[in-house]
Structure 1
Amino acid sequence: MSADTKKRVLIVANELSPYLEFTDFAQILNKLAIKTFDAGLEVRVIMPRFGIINERRHRLHEVVRLSGINVIIDKDDYPLIIKVASLPNARLQVYFMDNDDYFKRKSVFRDDQDNFFEDNAERMIFFCKSALETVKKFGWPPHVIHCHGWMTSLIPLYLKTAYKKEPVFSYSKTIFTAQQPQFSEILNDQFTRKAMISNEIKEKDLEVFKEGTNMALTLGASKYADVVVFGEDNLDPQIVEEVKPSRYKKVLKYEDSWKEDITPLLDLYKSLTES
């Protein structure tokens, strides 16, 4: 496979083993990234640089050539710091989106009193926009963008609206991993307004997200993704009901065997790069 014809897969995730693990899918994504690379596809991974990720142990370092990106959220500028590490036992790179306001704290989604951070909505918007701006900066057009975790929920929407005219995404197909809700709180009431990062996004586009629950994020991401992967067995019936397979939407049901054999997911990647 020549460099010109190489297929490119971008994984954008909340979690990835060994950096951070919330669910079993963190290890599945690790195996999937490595197997995809071994199959001859180009792979890059983007995730948040949560403060609990040990930079020294995992050998993160800042990517100076990608510096200078400012991410605007609700007219405020937030400097984006991009760090990178090599995935252990693999020759592929993981890029970490960092910002002192949103990711310096030494916890993930909750404070030390177990309170859900009030700015988790803004952190999600920052991360989703940062990931897409970083790909633009790469000049690296992905054939497949696999979004995993609730913090990636806005990416399928953004690709269909704010970024739909960007050449780097002109043939990108999106996958979203649907899972059980991981928080019971509601995002702050400014969420959908701040999520409108471009004039290309209309209020009606965010209708499905407006309740600000984890379920609403899952249903919204699933609506705009090209393919939905059920990331767990026995998903909430509402997700199963809403995300029915149709001629417009491909659904890949969870298999416990993925923990050992991720071939069905790799085959999904391959099929999307060829369509």
Structure 2
Amino acid sequence: NLIIDDNDHQLIIKVASIPSARVQIYFIDNDDYFARKAVLKDADGNYFADNDERAIFFARGVLETVKKLRWTPTVVHCHGWLASVVPVYLKRIFADDPIFRDVKIVVSLYDDSFPGELEREFRTKIAHEGVKDKNLSILEAPSYENLCRFVMEYADGVVVGSAGADAAVVELARRSGKPLLEYQSPDEADFFDNYNRFYEALQ
């Protein structure tokens, strides 16, 4: 069980495989947070009120699963804002764990912005997880742009993952001084080579 905001939530790990690609895929699940027919919004288009806690559970769940399976990742690539808590956990909670000590963090930016802000207690809930960091002040107003600013503080590299990524956030990435991979069309012949070169340059 993982404790989020003083409440116990069961972490369920599921595994599947793609035999033709020799790839195993691991899923984390929880009835409270993920037993829904939609990812971020309800049937009326309203964002779920607990998306902040779902992001925290996702981050903890993924990293605890990696520890349980005794993997030693070289690169952790976070896709979308729902994974935005993973980097701060890696840098502040799991920093001394040998499994994660030398990991490089890459963050991809997408056209997944949301209106308004997440729950105002988001910052406090992360702090309750044992995170002590001045950058948490960015989340006093947990808007999409501030969430992206926050996650980029811990990234070793940033990728523009979609052509329609938020222009203001992409500009923040360009001005951050972090290594940046501009948008790569999947139709380009060197798509995978460009990503591999980007990863290798971070080592």
Q: Same fold (TM over 0.5)?
A: yes
Match of 1:15 in 2: none
Match of 2:99 in 1: 168
Residues 133, 178 of structure 1: CA spacing in aligned structure 2 closer, same or farther, 3 A cutoff?
Answer: same
Structure 2 unaligned segments of length 5 or more: list them: none
Q: 1:254 aligns with which of 183, 189, 193?
A: 183
Distance 2:32 2:14 in 1: 16
Q: Calculate the TM-score normalised by the size of structure 1.
A: 0.68
Q: Give the drift of 1:245.
A: 5.9
Match of 2:72 in 1: 141
Residues 181, 112 of structure 1: CA spacing in aligned structure 2 closer, same or farther, 3 A cutoff?
Answer: closer
**Per-residue CA shift, 1:205-231, capped at 9, x if unaligned?**
312233222222222111211100111
Q: 1:243 aligns to what SS in structure 2?
A: helix
Match of 1:194 in 2: 125
Q: 1:218 aligns with which of 148, 169, 172?
A: 148
Q: In the alignment, residue 118 of structure 1 is paired with which amino acid? A: A
Match of 1:209 in 2: 139
Q: In the alignment, residue 253 of structure 1 is paired with which amino acid? A: E
Q: In the alignment, residue 157 of structure 1 is paired with which amino acid? A: V
**Per-residue CA shift, 1:241-266, capped at 9, x if unaligned?**
322366x6211111225565321012
Contact between 1:146 and 1:176, CA under 8 Å: does it hold in 2?
A: yes
Q: 2:161 aligns with which of 231, 250, 259?
A: 231
Distance 1:210 1:90 in 2: 44
Distance 1:269 1:180 in 2: 22
Distance 1:207 1:87 in 2: 42
Q: Calculate the TM-score normalised by the size of structure 2.
A: 0.90
Q: 1:151 aligns to what SS in structure 2?
A: helix
Q: 1:95 aligns to what SS in structure 2?
A: strand
Distance 2:187 2:99 in 1: 31
Contact between 1:178 and 1:222, CA under 8 Å: does it hold in 2?
A: no
